[in-house]
Structures are given as C-alpha cells and as structure tokens.
Structure 1
Amino acid sequence: MTMKKYIWKCLLLSMVITLGACESFFNVETDNVLDHDDYISQESEMYAGYIGIMTKVQAIGDKAIYLTDTRGELLEPTKNAKSELYSLYNYETDLTGNSYADPAAYYDVIIACNDYLLRIYEYKEKNKTSVNIDHYQALVSCTLRVKAWVYLTLGKVYGEAVWFDDPMREKKDLSQFPLKNLDEIVTSCKELLVNGFDGVNGRLSISWKEWLDPETETSESIYRYWDSMTPEYFALYAELCLWSGEYQKTVDLILSAMNARFAATVNDATPWMRNDKIGGVYGTIWNLLNPAPQETVSAILYDYTQNQTNSLLKHFGSEYPNEYLLAPSTVGRTRFSDTSFNPLGGAAADRREGVTFAKDAAGNYVIQKFRPISKPARANAYQDDVHIYIYRAGELYCMLAEALNNLGRTAEASALINAGINGSFPNGGVSWAGFTDAWTTAWRVGEKNRTYADKGVRGIFGLANRKFTDDQQANDMQILDEMMLEFPCEGKIYPAMIRMAKRYNDYNIIADRVCPKYTNPEDIRAKILAGGYFLHWNLK
C-alpha cells in the first residue's frame, strides 16, 4: 500500500470513530486517551497520528461560536432551543451538566497533542537514520500551534484553563495541575511557540500535498486544502501579542505576512487583500465547498461524505432537518441599517446584512451566511459540512488596525477599517512604516500592474468612513463596532469585547453592546459587571 493510500485509510477510519456520533460530540470523556501500544510504529503513522489530532479539532470547531455568540450582541435562543442554550444566554453561573459548556472536548485535543509529541519523539529516537527529519519537525511545529490555539480559545471562553504538558495515560484529577488565568495562558502559549519541543519551535510550515501527493495536479489533489487546517504561526502569535499588549510585535508579524502575499502577485483575487474582487463575491466566503482562497488564512474543513460535520446549519437553519435553535435578535440585526451605528454614506445598504440574514418561508429571520437561499453550494440541508475560519483576511485587517491604533498610528488604523491603503496612496509611494506599494495599484509584477488594490474593510462595500480621532479608546470602539458587522456568528466578536474591556478596565464596553437584546438588560449588565463575562465551569 502506498503512503498516500495508507494515510487516507487512516484518515477515514479516525474520522468515522471520532465524528460518527456527531450529535453527542460535546460529551467527550477526557479519559478516552489514545492506545499507547505501538501508537507510532512506522513512519506513515506519524502523519496518521497528526490527522487524528485534526479530527478532534473538527469536533470543537463550532463550539466556541455557541459559547460566545449566544452571550454576545446578536443571537438569542428560539422556542426550539433546549434549556442549556437558555442557560448560556442568561449568563447563569451554575452550568453543571450543561453539554455546551463542558470543556472536555477542548482538553481532549490537548491530551492528544501531548501524547502525540511524546510518541513521535520516541519513534524519531528509535529510527534516527531513517526518519524524515524535516517532516518530523514540521509535524511537531504544527502540533504546538494546535495546542496553543486550543489553550487560547479556552482562555477566551472560560478565562482560565488547567495547563499540563505531560501525556495523560489515564484519567487524572485535574486539580494537581496549575490553573492559569487568561493572562497566564497567553504567556504560556507564547513560551510554548518560542521554546517548542525537542528543539523545534512553532514556526515551521507543512505541505500535505507535496509530502503525500506530489504527482497530482494541485487542483485535483485531495490534500490541496489541508495546510489551512493548522493555525498559521504569524496570525496566532500576533493575536497572542494583541492580548498581552505587544502591539508592535502584532504589527510586525501581520504586515510581514501580508506584504509577502501581496508582493507575490497582481492577480485580481490576491490572497488576503480586501479589494473589489472580494467585495463582489463576499457571500461566497462561506458558500463554497472549500474555503475561499482570497479570505482564508486558516480554516477547519469538513466533508459530510466522510462523516465530518459540524452543527452550524443545525443551530441556525430552519430548513429541514435543521432545528433553528438560535436566531438573530431584532436589535442585533437592525444595527446593520442603523446609520448612527453603521454610517452608510451613499450606499443604500450594507451588503453584509443581506449575506448574514434572511427570512425563511415562515417569515422567521435566520442566520443565512452558512447556507444562502440562492444557489447554495450544498444541495441538501443535511450536508452540514460548512468550513469554519480560524483566521481570515478580514480578521488580519482588524487585528492590525487595533494594534496600530494602540501605537498611536491613527491614520493607518483608519485606512484599514475604512477606504484602504490605496485610498491614501493611489499612485504608490506608501510612506507608512511597514507598509509597501504592494497594497496599491502602483504595484507591478512582470508586465502587469495591480488592477484591484486594497480598499479596506468598509471600502469594498462602498460604505462611508468610520470616524477616527486622537482618542485611542474611541477608535478601538469604532474597530469593535465594525467587527460586529464583519464577524457575526464566527466566535470572534465577544472575545474582542473582553480584550478591549480588559484594556480599559471598563466592562460596560461589553454590556453596552450585549444588553440591548435582552428583556431584562439591567440584570444582565449586573452579571457582566460582576465578572460574569467569562463562562463559569468548575474545573476542579
């Protein structure tokens, strides 16, 4: 059997085992550890072992969306929702037995990462003359990034996490391990990515297609999107630095990566660039069978034909057999057309509103972005294989703008959120530190100039500019409000609220945006201001 066929067989087997009973995947027991007998006994199993980790990542891909957006500024449970979703929505502190709130599935990923690192190391030590060291190091590096990203997610949702690095051979009392708060988690994640494991840090990239399928054309290879499944180092570390206040590091990491991508091509669909091309096909960011290359930094992939599913359509869709458990609140939905919140300028509407929301046949408003009514990519509603973005281009813009604003670079932050870098330098000659002419129409590769240049987050929709001033906090609020329009139901907005509230020690930043959707807004405000913005789970 060829390595390609062997890996594919292992992949299918592991996904069937891990995701076959998708209706109960939140209830993963953390004592379901991997079989340690001959876990890695030949080199092909190095790859299969890492794929096993990714099946566990698929199982948690949508979990943070329910845990944050339900308590965030937009969503509310429907009459179909179970009491567990209402408990989250109402900021209840006793979540004992709540299958959504249970963090066990996150810890399963961490357990799998720790175990894999030890086993792949043991295999390398026994086979020093034959193991492909480049592949070994890349797999280690990717595993470190997965582990750091899961810990950061735990910190953003729960405000704390039990940290452990040793493989778990049996079920253990978690109280023997250190309980770290969000700040400590961020520090430990950065140390993990820098110090690494076995002399390998978290920076190395991986090419599944080149490793396992080099003779197949990229467009035909089943591995062509696999590289995106692992969080990109630069984006992950940049977000960690944003949480810890290392804003210049955030800027350096993101700009370096974006400049390199922009300089490599003048293609209309330039990866990660917000230009007229992405403005015209914005809805297809989610309505494609595979992630949109122009928008994708990192994404979790699914394929229902291989028992790889998530529950986004189940929760948001009303088309049978979906259950319509969560719906957009009136307050949250109307923010898109409220010109005091979203300055439309000469635009008749914000195109994102029509992508995000729709009315179903019964007249109910639904979150529609994951399954558009017109020409859906998936023929049937049960094909819940929509991909989930870990990081996407719009997020790079917002993270970069937030960091620049906190460095006092207001003009650059405003350009990223509003009309883009090309709007300030239409003929090139970009003078802002770290930016290059590759953001503009002046950029040239070979015989061709850039046709579609950067137009910013709002510029691609023809929306009026948000006002940026010399007030740093007010500018951050402009960025946060823009995120509310750009990232609904992606698990990204509520953590950003927490980050900014921590920065200014003002948790009304969260309450002012969340409470208007409630019938008891002052009760919810009191819970948030009392520290209830993190989800409480008794880890002991």
Structure 2
Amino acid sequence: MKNKLFRSIARVVPVVLLGLSILSCKDMFEIEPETTLDIEKSYQNVYDADAAVIGIYGKFLRLAEANVVLNELRADLMNVTPNAAAHADLMEVNYHTVTEGNKYADPRPYYEVILNCNDVLHNFRKMVKENKITQDQFNYRYSDIVALRSWVYLQLGIHFGSIPYVTNPLANVNELKSQAAFPRIEFETLLDSLINFTEKIPHKGVYPEGTSLLVNIDGYNTRKFFINKRLVLGDLHLWKGNYTNAARHYRVIMETASDNPGNTTRYFNMYRVSWAEAFNPEVGFNGTQSTPWDFEWVWDLPFSKDFSPTNPFIKLFANAGGEYLIKPSQKAIDNWAAQTRSSLTPGDIRGTWAVQYQFGQPVAGKYLQNFNPALPFDTKGNWFLARISMIHLRFAEAANRDGHQKLAESFVQRGIRRNFTYPDSLLTTTNPDVSRTQQTFLPAPYDFDARIGDFPHFRAPWHRHDGLRSRAGLQDINLEGATQEGIEDAIIQEAALELAFEGNRWEDLLRIARRRNDPTFLADKVAEKFEKANDPRAGEVRSKLLDRHNWYLPFRWE
C-alpha cells in the first residue's frame, strides 16, 4: 500500500521548522517530492507524526505571498507602485480585473495544503487505532491539522465564494477539476461544514508544555508557529453571525494565562491589551521573541534566509533591495495623519512604524524590520498571521452585534475599567468602594471584572485592560449616541489603523458588506484609495464592486 502524502510536500522547509526534524525523523525531509513512501515506514511513532505536522506547515508557508496580496491589495490600504505595471497579476488584483492564469487567483496551492492535511488526518486516525501514538498525542496533532485546514478553507471561501469541499485523501490535486465528482458549495454552506467539523476536534487549546513539537531552535521557540484553534473557531462563528459563540472563543484566547496567577505579569498582561505592557512595534515586528512579542503575538511563522520558501515580502515591499511593487496607499497614510494624540498633537504613532520611507517613497515597514539592503541575501522575516489586537477587535465586533455597544467601545477606546466606572455618591477618591462599579455585569462571555482597589488591596483579572486607542496614545473619538452600525464603523476604522498590511483588510471589509447586505460599504472604501491617488479608474472599480459577483475571484484550475 502506497501513501502519497509527500508527493507535493516540498523537500526543504524553513530552517526553524526543519530543525524539528532532529526528532528522529530527519529522513522524511530528504525524500524527493515525487517519491512515494510505504505507509508502514512513514507513520510508526510520534516523531513520524511530528514530521508530518511540520511538513504541512512547510507547505502552508508557501501561501504567505498570495494571502497578503489578496487580503491587502484587493482592499483599500495598499496600492501598486509604478514598478508593478510590468506585473499583470498584481495589476489585475489591484483593479479587480483578475483573468484566467493569474497566479494569485490559483486555488491549487491552497488545495495542495488541504489534500496533504487530509492524508495526514487519515493516517493519524490509523496510527491511534493501531496504538502507534497515544490518544493524547493523536488529539493534539489531529486537532492542529483540522484547524489549519479549516483556516485554509475559510480563506478559499472568502476569495472564491463557492468552492469544492473535500475531506477525504486524494492522490492528486488535479482530481478536483471534476465538477461532477467534487461540486462546489456556497460560502454559507462551507461555513456550516467548517463549524460542524472544527467544533468536534478533541483538543481546542494550544500544544501543552512537554509536547515534542515545542522546542527551541536557533533561538526560536516554536510555540507560536502552530495555529490557534480558538482563533479559527471564533472567526468561523463571526463570519456565520454566531456572535456569542465567536466571543466565547475569542475570550478564551484573551484569558490564555489566567491559569497561572502566580506570575502576576503574565497573568494580567498575556493576551490582554494592557496599559502595563504597551506594545513595542520595533520589537513586535522584527521577530524577536521578547516579552512584548510574547504578550502580543498569537500566531507568527518565520522565514529563513537559508531555506525555501524564501521571504516574498522583501521583493514586494522594499524600495531598497526589493522590486517595490506594492506600497501603502495614500488613504492609509492619511488615516494615521488624521488622528489626534492625547497630547493634542496630530498623528497616530502606529503610522510611523507601519510606514517607512526609502528613496522618498513609502514602504510597508512592518515587513522590513529585519531587512538591511546592504545585506541583500539576509532575507529572514515573518508571516504575521494573528496578534492579540486583532482578537480584541473581533471580540468587539461580536459584542457589538450581540447588543453590547458600551463593551465594544471599551475595547476600541479606553478600556473596561474606565468605561464602566459609574458615578456614585459612595465612591470617593481616597477610598473607593468598587463593589458596584468597574464591572460589566453582563452574561458570559461578556462578564468582565476590571476592579482595582487598595483598601483592601485588590486586583481583578481585567484591571489593566486598555482600549486600542488609549494604548496608542490617542484621544477618544466621539461615539456618543452611536448606533450599532456606527460602533461597527469605528471598529473597522480602528482595524485599519492597528492592523494595516497584516493580511486582514479585505476579509474585514467583505464580512461587513455581507453582513449588512450593502455593496456600497465595500465599493466606496476600495474606490477611495484610487480617489486619494487621483487614479481615474476609481469609478470603474466602484462600479465593479457594486456587483456582488465581483467580490469573488474566478475559480479556475488552468
């Protein structure tokens, strides 16, 4: 019996991931891609299972370029440079004129990851049945691969709309060309299937300490390399409109460290946007696994200068040492310039590190923190997949749609404690009675306690919570009397300021447009980037996006 799992897994994966192969499974990565393996030799023990997991992530990393291009260039915060005129694929993505053969609109690389996942899941089930791995070893690795596959499927649904949904192992991705054998399902049906399958995974947490996949390689700890399952589940429910369920999953992430109160710094600041641990962007976006990085990043995959796939973002974004094909849009730059700091001075500090200037031109600095044009072959970098500010914004989005506008505003502006401090004659400056304040008094998962007091000394789990604007040193925006849609507009605008260029923008805009059944929401925001650039095609793009069919890429194999 032959297993073709490694037919399409690349032989070389990034050095940090490849380093895991020392766990007795090095030979697996020396196999040529077209070689077939005897199943009896491939899945013998937990280290072989680890090799399969790492092989999947090595393949998954090759989706980074398309993921960022599709989610950013299709939206409003990035635009093409004049250099991109020679790159028809990028121009088509930017102007929503994608034609057959566009490499960014090719679903096959996504399905190569999915089919490899299907093979691995099939063999994991067989391994645990044959007692080659324990039930716990199966639970952790099986759940990881299911969640990763669901994330890839969600991206396919976001960009293509209706797609084939396949959970069985297949030998070759081209088998999916058969429309009769693999009919496409609509996005809503896909969401139902993904939620049903992913909610049933046996382990929803991160890999526990002591798992053989968690190691330190060349100064990197692998803990953040693997997908966060609660993130996937939260996103699936958010897209489906199951807002309470989405918030429940996001809340678990935000309280990841609540089981370790002995370490008060980690307990109060881990995965909470906190006034005590302001995010240091210079540390956060250079891959240094420092304490601020650890408190901020939920999912982050590195590129190595020595192993493929190479970092694609230097070529795309660098004006010095790259080809400078994509740049921050003028709209994005104006967004930051329009903010007012708490000191009443203009500008948002997040813009100063998100955008750098090379040869007088703006570049996406988030992706170039590690790159020195004087060392052009040192191309290490990161694919930034999820950080906690994104989770907070999506939690706020869910809370707002669940009818909790004040709580949603807290996550955007000044935090829970300050937003839920009520005037009361019993409260004094010197000895406040906080028993009836600084809490939300809402049902789970919206029941937050942000109390702080000194007589007696008391610190509730969320007392350090800060809103994103407050953490960035900005004034509040006026949301007095804002409607549900008004709060939602503020959340999406804050996401533009906080998460620009990180691969989230198109899906954020699309999700709101779908939810509101309002094509103008999406069309106007995207067209505005062309208007800001004095691009005469602004009207053309707006007209195209007013047609919902043009929200999705053509699903083609050739």
TM-score (normalised: structure 2)? 0.82
1:26 corresponds to: none
1:453 aligns with one of 464, 479, 496: 464
- Whichever residue aligns with residue 270 of structure 2, its letter is P
2:365 corresponds to: 368
1:5 aligns with one of 22, 44, 57: 22
1:297 corresponds to: 298
Q: What is the distance in 2 between the residues matched to 1:337 and 1:527?
A: 29
Shift of 1:10: 5.0
Q: Which runs of 5+ in 1 are unaligned?
A: 19-31
Q: What is the distance in 2 between the residues matched to 1:380 and 1:422?
A: 47
Distance 1:326 1:420, change over 3 A: same
TM-score (normalised: structure 1)? 0.84
1:228 aligns with 2:224: yes
Once the two structures are aligned, what percentage of the paired residues are identical?
20
Shift of 1:259: 3.3
Q: What is the distance in 1 between the residues matched to 2:48 and 2:225?
A: 19
Q: What is the distance in 2 between the residues matched to 1:159 and 1:3?
A: 36
User: Is this contact kept in 2: 1:272–1:393, CA < 8 A?
Assistant: yes
Q: What is the distance in 2 between the residues matched to 1:357 and 1:331?
A: 12
- Whichever residue aligns with residue 164 of structure 2, its letter is V
Between 295-304 and 110-119, the greater mean CA deviation after superposition? 295-304
- Whichever residue aligns with residue 212 of structure 1, its letter is S
Q: What is the distance in 2 between the residues matched to 1:204 and 1:279?
A: 26
User: Is this contact kept in 1: 2:451–2:460, CA < 8 A?
Assistant: no
Q: What is the distance in 1 between the residues matched to 2:279 and 2:207?
A: 31
User: Is this contact kept in 2: 1:421–1:440, CA < 8 A?
Assistant: no
Distance 1:11 1:323, change over 3 A: farther
1:387 aligns with 2:382: yes
Q: What is the distance in 1 between the residues matched to 2:43 and 2:454?
A: 51
Look up the SS of the partner of 2:227 in the other structure: coil
2:547 aligns with one of 530, 533, 537: 530
Q: What is the distance in 2 between the residues matched to 1:4 and 1:409?
A: 48
Shift of 1:35: 4.4
User: Is this contact kept in 2: 1:279–1:460, CA < 8 A?
Assistant: yes
Between 139-148 and 96-105, the greater mean CA deviation after superposition? 96-105
User: Is this contact kept in 1: 2:415–2:466, CA < 8 A?
Assistant: yes
- Whichever residue aligns with residue 275 of structure 2, its letter is D
Distance 1:222 1:443, change over 3 A: farther
1:267 aligns with 2:265: yes
Shift of 1:443: 11
Look up the SS of the partner of 1:273 in the other structure: coil
1:462 aligns with 2:473: yes
Q: What is the distance in 2 between the residues matched to 1:279 and 1:87?
A: 39
2:145 corresponds to: 143
User: Is this contact kept in 2: 1:401–1:479, CA < 8 A?
Assistant: yes
Matches within 5 A, 1:95-494: 95-125=99-129, 127-128=130-131, 130-170=132-172, 171-172=174-175, 173-175=177-179, 176-196=181-201, 201=202, 203=204, 205-207=206-208, 210-212=210-212, 225-261=221-257, 264=261, 265-267=263-265, 270-279=269-278, 281-290=280-289, 292-320=293-321, 322-339=322-339, 346-360=344-358, 362-372=359-369, 380-424=375-419, 429-433=438-442, 434=444, 439=450, 441=452, 453-468=464-479, 469-494=481-506
Shift of 1:424: 2.7
1:54 aligns with 2:53: no
1:40 corresponds to: 42
Distance 1:64 1:477, change over 3 A: same
Look up the SS of the partner of 1:279 in the other structure: coil
Q: What is the distance in 1 between the residues matched to 2:20 and 2:134?
A: 14
Distance 1:89 1:284, change over 3 A: same
- Whichever residue aligns with residue 460 of structure 1, its letter is R
Distance 1:447 1:235, change over 3 A: same
Q: What is the distance in 2 between the residues matched to 1:456 and 1:3?
A: 38
User: Is this contact kept in 1: 2:274–2:465, CA < 8 A?
Assistant: yes
4+ residue segments displaced more than 6 Å: 342-345, 375-379, 446-452
- Whichever residue aligns with residue 465 of structure 2, its letter is D
Q: CA RMSD in A?
A: 3.3
Between 529-538 and 96-105, the greater mean CA deviation after superposition? 529-538
Q: Which runs of 5+ in 2 are unaligned?
A: 1-18, 422-433
Q: Which deviations, in whole Å up to 9, do the C-alpha atoms of 1:171-196 show, x marking residues without a partner?
A: 41341213122212211111111345
- Whichever residue aligns with residue 537 of structure 1, its letter is F
User: Is this contact kept in 2: 1:65–1:489, CA < 8 A?
Assistant: yes
User: Is this contact kept in 2: 1:515–1:521, CA < 8 A?
Assistant: yes
Between 382-391 and 243-252, the greater mean CA deviation after superposition? 382-391
User: Is this contact kept in 2: 1:145–1:202, CA < 8 A?
Assistant: no
